[in-house]
Amino acid sequence: MLDWRILDWKKKLNKKSNTELLDLFRESNRINIDPQIYAGNLLFERGYNPTELLRIKDDLKDAIEAAFEKMHGKSHSEIVRENVIRQITYCTMSAVLLTFSYSKQTIFKFDDLIDSNFTAYAILICLSFFPLLFIKRSNQKAIQKYQKSLQEKQELISKIDRELKF
């Protein structure tokens, strides 16, 4: 079944001037690049300067690369390091919140460290850091997410190369 919305935006782009199409093609912060590709092909068919179109195409691919590096970093070790830091921060925050909430229920005194409250605090802190036992699995998930995003980036760049006529 044909989706009429697709034809609508294509018809609207066909009616636009070269400068409007060029502005759309130059945009670098789009999620859906189909209108950009269509605008670039329209400009090429209308006889717009091919060297300028190639430069904009390269700029578009560079913008995708830069956005990916900004979002994810450059290597697996950076991904793992950031994930470990994030997990330790979360565990520390939960330990602080648990101990403060427990201390609000009881009046904390220095002498309580020897009493049963110390045991309760130690148990709460240990429970807070329990997720660190599964840090390897968390790192694997972070790397899988990175690889999926890397694949999406490669597909986006190959789509630009494949569908643009120049």
pTM exceeding the 0.75 threshold for the entire prediction: no
Displacement of CA 73 from its chain's centroid (Å):
10
**pLDDT per position as a tens digit, 106-138:** 555 555 555 567 777 788 889 999 999 999 999
Distance CA 49, CA 94 (A): 59
Distance CA 166, CA 17 (A): 20
Coil, helix or strand at residue 110 = helix
Q: Which of 93-97, 98-102, 135-139 shows the lowest mean pLDDT across its residues?
A: 98-102
Distances (CA, A) of 6 to 9, 13, 38, 78: 6, 11, 11, 40
Look up residue 1 and give its DSSP letter. -
**pLDDT per position as a tens digit, 67-77:** 888 877 778 88
pLDDT of residue 35: 87
User: pLDDT at residue 46 above 70?
Assistant: yes
User: pLDDT at residue 55 above 90?
Assistant: yes
